[in-house]
Chains A and B, each alone.
Chain A
Amino acid sequence: MKSKYIEEIIVKILMALSLLAVVGFAASIVYTIFHRGWSCITWEMVSSLPGGGFYIGKEGGFLNAIVGSVYIVAASTFLGLLISIPVVFYLNIFLKSNSKFAYVARLAYDVLFGIPSIVYGAFAFTLMIWLGLRTSLLGGILVTTLLIIPIMIRSMDEVTKTFPRDLLDASYSLGATRLETMGVVLRQIMPGIATATLLSVGRAIGDAAGVMFTAGFSDSIPSSLSQPAATLPLSIFFQLSAPQAEVQNRAYAAALVLTGIVLVISLAGRFIMHRFSKNKI
């Protein structure tokens, strides 16, 4: 009879510990990265390109990686939106809500979302060899676009699905064309698009395995789409595998920059979601 109260207390203690563990993990990671990175970071690192002998500890910075990441993320986010917004509209407005095709499509995007980026990378790499392309900025952009499309589509789709179909009918019955109606919908799901974009940017900027194959790595800022480009995650990875402490320190500094960017993006996402859920229809 009493054992169930004891069990309840034990479980409560375990729950408190688990909660603490999760918060602890998050805090520990952020603290480790900031603590280690802050003692290493200098203005030179974020503002200059790798100099001669960079990987044996000579001077220089990782501006090439920052710029490369920005190029790839910006371009692939733009391409991703260009492809996913029409798809989301197609799934939600043109297809009936019980459509078999929509079911299969959603399933496929969820599955694509689950495919590891290294598989995307390996696949894109073979494709590029087949097409006679070398590792380049373009390759990095394309594989990152493929990588984020499923996330973009599914997270926008979740928001658009809650859009009441009666409202569509109302719009049609007022004599609006399909295009005008789409305008109405677009305005309503704007916050959804914003969060989906932030989510994708977060994933795109952190991805290493996909771009490893396709964008290659380079010590300079690419000046055309056909040149290879460096990215922050790869820059961290490569510098950390060097034996010299100076090079490793730069990796920690780069990790700090990357973490900072990702945390800001994630906070912004939460903020928008919060605002959005307040004045949702």
Chain B
Amino acid sequence: MLLLTGASLLLVLIMGIGLYMKSAPIFEDHSLWELLSASEWKPFKNRFGFFPFVMGTVWVTGIALVLALPLSLLVAVFLTEYSRAWVKRWFYPALDILAALPSVIYGVWGSLLIVPWISERLAPHFVEFSSGYTVLAGGIVLSVMILPLLVSLFVEIFSTVPQELRDASQALGATRWQTAKKVVIRRSLPGIFAAVVLAVSRALGETIAVLMVCGNLPQVPHSIFDACYPIPALIANNYGEMLSLPLYEAALMFAAMILFVVVLLFNLLSRIILYRLKKS
């Protein structure tokens, strides 16, 4: 049993080392800074600029968070501060469904509904032409995907706020919202931060759904109606041909390593905060 436990723990370490060793060749030709800041992606000419992909990931994740955060906060405040039991009973299955649906299904939904909506309804108001396969489409799909995670984390965090604090605030004549805003949310700020970091790291690694709606053009997006190419999509789209060039493989493994390191750090940070909160 100790062996199994230990072995599964070593997995984190082995993954890190494995990815680093595989991506090492690319550092012989290019510096880390050059890789991250250059924006030209031409593997067959030995040009590996990750900047467009990094920006694509940042944009999509940012939009997802901007959309999902207020929504999930309001829902979580409602569920913990306002809701009667029967509303919860009817509402939780909806969250369950959102949490259970595989990412490829989100991709299908996004390409059937969100993409045409953007290209036909929304984009014409702002730009001359947009295919719909855009940063915005990726952001919307991702935001719906991280909603259930955010809501359930927020609900869990808000429930650790002692009832006496709410009583004290309401006894002074505060409305429920004032209590939620000034006592519950305020006290939960570290937890909210941790939850957001966790949700961001989930969004960073999401592959198939984003791949299906983002357009996948290696360019730095200038507006939300531009196509973009996030890092996970880059890896998934090119793994087939990567063996053709030694440095190409190293470049893709470097992309995987960026994801691994960022997600690892984000997860560690937020989990440690959440553990602390649970204990106290």
Contacts and interface: CB of A to CB of B under 8 A. Distances in A.
Interface of A: 4-5, 7-8, 11-12, 14-15, 18-19, 21-23, 25-30, 32-33, 36, 83, 86-87, 89-91, 94, 103-112, 114-120, 122-123, 125-127, 146, 149, 153, 202, 205-209, 212-213, 233, 236-237, 240, 251-252, 255, 258-259, 262-263, 265-267, 269-270
Secondary structure of the A contact surface, majority rule? helix
A116 B204 contact: yes
Interface string B79-117: 000100000000111111111111111111101110000
B208 A87 contact: no
A107 B97 contact: no
B175 A5 contact: yes
28 contacts: A7-B178, A8-B177, A11-B177, A19-B91, A22-B95, A26-B95, A83-B4, A103-B275, A105-B9, A107-B268, A107-B275, A114-B198, A114-B264, A115-B263, A116-B204, A118-B256, A119-B15, A122-B235, A123-B18, A126-B19, A126-B22, A209-B103, A212-B236, A213-B239, A236-B108, A258-B102, A258-B105, A262-B105
Contact of B101 (A14, A105, A206): A206
B253 interface: yes
Given A8-B176, A119-B260, A123-B19, A15 B78 contact: yes
A47 to B, nearest CB: 22
A208 B207 contact: yes
Contacts of A206: 101-105
B252 interface: yes
B166 interface: no
Contacts of B235: 118, 122
A258 B105 CA distance: 8
Nearest to A198: B100
Contacts of B107: 237, 240
B206 A116 contact: yes
The 4 closest A-B pairs by CB, nearest first: A116-B205, A206-B102, A266-B100, A90-B1
B98 A118 contact: no
A270 B202 CA distance: 23
Contacts of B104: 206, 208, 233, 236-237, 255, 258
B39 interface: no
Given A30-B97, A114-B263, A117-B205, A108 B4 contact: no
A119 to B, nearest CB: 5
A18 B75 contact: yes
B1 A87 contact: yes
B147 interface: yes
Contact of B19 (A21, A26, A122): A122
Interface in B47-67: none
Contacts of B176: 8
A106 B267 CA distance: 12
Given A25-B98, A105-B9, A202-B100, A118 B207 contact: yes
Contact of A255 (B108, B259, B260): B108
B174 to A, nearest CB: 8
